[in-house]
Amino acid sequence: MIVLDRLVKRFGDTKVIDGVSLTVPDGAVCALVGVSGSGKSTTLRLINRMIEPDGGTVRIGGVDVATVPLVTLRRRIGYVIQSIGLFPHWTIARNVATVPHLLNWPKARIDERVDELLDLVGLDPALYRDRRPHELSGGQQQRVGVARALAADPDVLLMDEPFGALDPVTRDGLQAALADIQHRTGKTIVIVTHDIDEAIRLASMIAILDKGRVIQHGSPRDILTRPANAFVSAFVGGPRLGLRLLQVGTVGERAAFDAAAAEAFARETASAVEPIDAAASLDQAVARMVASGTTRLPVVDGAAGRHGILEFAAVVRP
């Protein structure tokens, strides 16, 4: 668990962090969102002591980070930034192994770890291990940045606009890869983004910052359905609010599972309509409906062992 307690940071006369308190549970993905200059990056950098606070504390797993030697802290906290910062003359393997080298791991253990991590971020070790950074695309380099941050198996991953510079297709791919990595490793992740859609897609909790303060935090659904004030409402809402609400709702919540629905399921699947998983989001369901020109989809709820049907009318019901 990461606990930020009444953090304050001044640069000159300006208080850029003004009493930030926030608790990020183990295994959560917390997105810090807000407009430019609201203090997102500064908050992130206070967590791993890239900068020191003027007031307040950061505790990770109950330990005040101010009491932990910096080398130990860097090992326990992975850090990924937008501009990647790979060493250009080093191979990809050497870049990924930056921290294990510092820790003097034996060569065989380093080699094994590098291959495991390249696999994890979706880069074939045999193809990429011995290349230099300039022989990779921006998206591939960013994957290497994530692998490097995970090298010493940190409990916490801090990410500062990691996908900001990428084209939408590459960004989608990397967001999915990150969600998968988080699912498999259970890391606690704090990610800075100014993109509320990225936050909704990746995060289990969102903290909205404005002028160095957390003005609201909660699940993506809470933030969308119960914005604390007009600022949050304008920030998360606008013309795309309806589409964002679809992202935080699941098929299972809106599908019917009674006897009639089970019969409709059988009819639809008999005519070769592919069922959708009850855990899928409603925007995925609507996308499928639009693409296949239908207003109903058969639904499989694997967890509860039942079949049902999702009608478009149930999706748009308030």
Ligand X SMILES: Nc1ncnc2c1ncn2[C@@H]1O[C@H](COP(=O)(O)OP(=O)(O)OP(=O)(O)O)[C@@H](O)[C@H]1O
Please select the residue that binds ligand X; options are 7, 31, 40, 199, rule is CB under 6 A: 40
Name the one range near ligand X by CB under 6 A: 37-45, 65-73, 172-180, 290-298: 37-45
Of 16, 165, 177, 273, the one binding ligand X (CB under 6 A) is 16
Cβ neighbours for 284, distance < 8 A, ≥ 6 positions apart: 251, 276
The distance of Cα 158 from the centroid of its chain, to the nearest Å, equals 10
Q: Please answer whether residues 31 and 198 qualify as being in contact, where contact means their C-beta atoms are separated by less than 8 angstroms.
A: yes
Strand order in 29-33's β-sheet?
Answer: 77-81, 156-160, 188-192, 29-33, 205-210, 213-218
List C-alpha distances in Å: 39 to 15, 162, 192, 210: 10, 17, 10, 7
Name the one range near ligand X by CB under 6 A: 33-41, 80-88, 196-204, 309-317: 33-41
Each residue 187-216 as x (binds ligand X by CB under 6 A) or -, in order, gives -------x----------------------
Q: What token pair was written down for 207?
A: 């903290």
Q: Minimum Å distance from CB 74 to ligand X?
A: 19
How far apart, in whole angstroms, are the C-alpha atoms of residue 11 and residue 175?
Answer: 33
Nearer to ligand X, 94 or 194 (CB): 194
Element (H, E) at 81: strand 77-81
Determine which residue in the list 2, 39, 123, 261 makes contact with ligand X, applying CB under 6 A. Answer: 39
What is the x/- site pattern for ligand X, positions 71-110, by CB under 6 A?
Answer: ----------------------------------------
Tell me how far apart the alpha carbons of residues 9 and 212 are, in angstroms, rounded to a whole number: 9
CB of 207 to ligand X, least distance (A): 12
Choice from 6, 11, 63, 124 touching ligand X (CB under 6 A): 11
227 lines the binding site for ligand X (CB under 6 A): no
Q: For ligand X, which is the closer residue by CB, 113 or 171? A: 171
List Cβ neighbours of 72 (8 Å cut-off, separation of 6 or more).
none
| 286, 313 Cβ separation under 8 angstroms | no
Could you tell me the CA-to-CA distances from 198 to 36, 131, 171, 227 in Å, in that order? 16, 30, 9, 18
Out of 25, 37, 85, 186, the residue judged to bind ligand X by CB under 6 A:
37
Residue 198 or 283: the one with the smaller Cβ distance to ligand X is: 198
**Identified binder of ligand X from the candidate list 7, 18, 22, 38, rule CB under 6 A:** 38
**Options 30-38, 114-122, 124-132, 258-266: segment touching ligand X (CB under 6 A):** 30-38
Q: Are 167 and 175 in contact (CB under 8 A)?
A: no
User: Quick one: which segment of 39-47, 86-94, 252-260, 284-292 binds ligand X (CB under 6 A)?
Assistant: 39-47
Give the interface segment with ligand X, choosing from 36-44, 167-175, 266-274, 285-293 (CB under 6 A).
36-44
DSSP one-letter code for 65: G
Under the rule (CB under 6 A), what is the footprint of ligand X?
Answer: 11, 16, 34, 36-42, 194
